[in-house]
Amino acid sequence: MAGIIEVHNLSKTFVTKDADVEALQDISLSIQAGDIYGIIGMSGAGKSTLVRCLNFLERPTSGTVEIEGRDLSALSEKELRAQRAEIAMIFQHFNLLMQKNVTDNICFPLLYGGVGKKDGGKRGTISKKDARKRAAELLEIVGMSEKAKAYPSQLSGGQKQRVAIARALAANPKILLCDEATSALDPQTTQSILQLLKQINRDYGITIVIITHEMSVVREICSHVAIIGGGRLVEQGRVADIFEHPKTQEAKELIVKGKGEERRTLEDRQKDLMKGKCCIRIVFSVNSSFEPVIANMVLRFGQPINILRADTKNVEGIARGEMILSLPDDAQIQQEMKDYLIERGLAVEEVDGYVD
Amino acid sequence: MWTKEMTLMMWEGTLDTLFMTLLSTFFGYLLGLPMGIALAVTDRDGIRPNAVVYKILDIIANIVRSIPFLILLILIMPFTKLIVGRSYGTAATVVPLTVAAAPFIGRMIESSLKEVDHGVIEAAQSMGAGTMTIIVRVLLVEARTSILVGVTIALGTILGYSAMAGIVGGGGLGDIAMRYGYYRYESDIMLAAVVLLVILVQIFQTLGMRMSVKLDRRKR
């Protein structure tokens, strides 16, 4: 089935004084309507150039880009501008007009964009009043109604991106391109923006293309993913398939990098579990490495303990390092265990809800 | 002695200077603004690169800007006469002032517009905005503060030039300072004219900066 976006054998070469740089080589993609499609790669892989080729902000050196069957290279300048109104875009640095307030920013594509120019229509098919009304609706959708009159400099990064999303949706686009849209945001804000994108995809059926270097973003919301490395498409397919059976080195590297992020969130969850639990930090210094202190303690008390963190080394027959343990809930046993450890010459210190 | 006639003369000189400065600045922007826009837009990384147009404007700006104002004043006297009907006096001075100011203003506009974040321009392009729309609705809007600072600088510079025109009978405070201070050694009149010029520059500077800060939306 032909997708809403079809890219065939696309190459892009930048001609510079010193040398020609091949940013993209022979890339073919098919993105189906309604997909959330991730394009992931390390920085410098060419993914930002690729997304700019999808709306012809960059003209490919060779190959074709078809949007709903229309070859972009065959369009006149005017037709291309009308086409761009259907392909909205959001950016890493939001790119809002700093001298205009939130409402005026959202009205921009309606009043001055390519909308309405299609089919030889004139600009101004929408009045300022209607544009403002539409802006108010959009602010409602992205949850920013109370900031309608604010200027971008008064907003946080996440709020700016919400305004940028509202602006992108203003002209009822069929496609939304996201160029590292969450890369300048903290993890929590990233989550909320991704949820918003998911909701937009579900509610309005807008096809979303997400450019990112973070595997966690792809895993969070994408249905399909293409991995770009060194200007080439190295792997493409369903996110689940690529996660389970990465075929290429690049895919494996990105997934391993992503695992690190996942581990961190696991630790977050663990942290929540540990709240209210009695945790202690023990420091080894004089003990012989040959005495299994923890194992002996578990055997003696017949109670399980949880090792949350361990960093020990055997230095010349003596164990050096530290461990963080979560003790059983029984206060009596806790005290006995602590005494047991102190007897063995370990420094024991209580820590409040273990935090890495 | 300071007489009533002198006060009147000073007052008229001030008005003449204001007239020349403001009118020349206005005509200067009439020519310089499109020139600056064209320079910014047609440059290699502008929104409509055009090497030929850029180079032509670039050379014109450089030539005019490298001619000292006093020489330019004399050089274009026939042209001034053609337009105003005579080559001395307040109205005549506006012509060389405008010619000198336009490329200078063009350069300032160019640099103001080039400060606009490329990402915002790209965003407008991604919405399907055309070149003219981007110039009017993005470049000029986002560069507003910087352009106003430029107007302030231009006013001060043109005021200075207008005083220089006093040497060849240009009218205004510069003319008074030349005639009385230089030719007749009446330095108190010259001093009074200079003080008035300083006050005018101060007023322009303060008003201009205040306005540009007030219209800047980037601050909280």
What CA–CA distance (Å, rounded) separates A228 from A230?
Answer: 7
Are B163 and B33 in contact by the 8 Å Cβ rule? The answer is no
Q: Which residues of A touch B (CB under 8 A)?
A: 55, 57, 80-85, 87-89, 91, 93, 95-101, 108-109, 112-115, 117, 151, 153-154, 171, 177
Residues A186 and A194 sit within 8 Å (Cβ to Cβ): no
Instruction: Answer for the pair A109, A176: CB distance below 8 angstroms, yes or no.
Output: no
The burial class, CB within 10 Å (0-12 / 13-18 / 19+), for A279 is buried
Given a cut of 50, the residues of chain B with pLDDT beneath it are: none
Whether A73 and A6 have beta carbons less than 8 Å apart is answered as: no
Decide if A53 contacts A60 (C-beta within 8 A).
Answer: yes
Give the start-to-end residue ranges of the domains of chain A: 5-250, 275-352
Chain-chain contact of A100 with B217 (C-beta, under 8 angstroms): yes
Q: How far, in Å, CA of A308 to CA of A286, rounded?
A: 22
CATH 1.10.3720.10 fits B4-214, yes or no: yes
**Cβ-count burial A201-210 (b if 16+ within 10 Å, e if not):** beeeebbbbb
Contact A95 B123 (CB under 8 A): yes
Top residue of A15, A86, A89, A99 to mutate, by most chain B CBs within 10 Å, is: A99
Name the closest residue on chain B to residue A83, using Cα atoms: B128
Distance of alpha carbon A294 from alpha carbon A285, whole angstroms: 14
Is A16 in contact with A202 (CB distance < 8 Å)?
Answer: no
> What integer pLDDT is reported at residue A115 of this predicted model?
60
The shortest CB-CB distance from A85 to any of B128, B144, B216 is to B128
For residue A16, the model assigns a pLDDT of: 83
> Which residues of chain A make contact with B133, given a CB cutoff of 8 A?
112
Give, in order, the Cα–Cα distances in Å from B94 to each of A2, A149, B27, B125, B158: 66, 44, 9, 40, 10
- Classify A275-352 by CATH class: alpha beta
Express each pLDDT in B116-161 by its tens digit: 999 999 999 999 999 999 999 999 999 999 999 999 999 999 999 9
Tokens standing for A86? 């259907």
Token readout for B118 is 């490329």
Residues of chain A with pLDDT under 50: 117-122, 355-356
Distance separating alpha carbons of residues B174 and B166, to the nearest angstrom: 5
Q: What is A5-250's CATH number, 3.90.45.10, 3.30.1330.10, 3.20.20.70, 3.40.50.300? A: 3.40.50.300
Nearest by CB to residue A85, choosing from B119, B127, B217, is: B127
Q: Which of B120, B127, B219 sits opposite A109 (nearest CB)?
A: B127
Judging by DSSP bridges, how do beta strands A87-91 and A70-71 pair with one another?
A: unpaired
Answer yes or no: do B141 and A97 touch at CB < 8 A. yes
CB distance A189 to A183 below 8 Å = no
Considering only the beta carbons, identify the residue of A85, A91, A153 that sits closest to B123.
A91
Cβ-based contacts of A109 with chain B (< 8 Å): 127-128
3-state secondary structure of B115: coil
Tokens 């200067």 found at: B28
- Name which of B125, B144, B216 is nearest A57 (Cβ-Cβ): B125
Residue from A67, A83, A95, A180 to probe the interface with B (highest B Cβ count within 10 Å): A95
Structure confidence at residue A120 (pLDDT): 40
CA dihedral B3, B7, B10, B14 (to 10 degrees): 180
Q: Closest-CA residue in chain B for A167?
A: B127
In Å, how far from its chain's centre is CA B49?
27
Q: Locate the domains of chain B by residue range.
A: 4-214
Task: Name residue A20's beta-bridge partners.
Answer: A15
The distance of A322 to chain B (nearest Cα, Å) reads: 48
Continuous segment of H or E residues that includes residue B11: helix B4-42
Which residues, in sequence order, are bridge partners of residue A208?
A36, A176
Answer for the pair A173, A88: CB distance below 8 angstroms, yes or no.
yes
Check CB contact under 8 Å for B120 and A108.
no
The question of ipTM being above 0.95 is answered as: no
Could you tell me if A310 and A330 are in contact, meaning their C-beta atoms sit under 8 angstroms apart? no
Query: Tokens standing for A112?
Result: 């001055």
Q: Is 0.80 surpassed by the pTM of this model?
A: no
Rounded CA-CA distance B32/B102 in Å is 4
- Within 10 angstroms of residue A167's Cβ, the number of other Cβ atoms is 29
Is residue A5 within 8 A of residue A72, CB to CB? The reply is: no
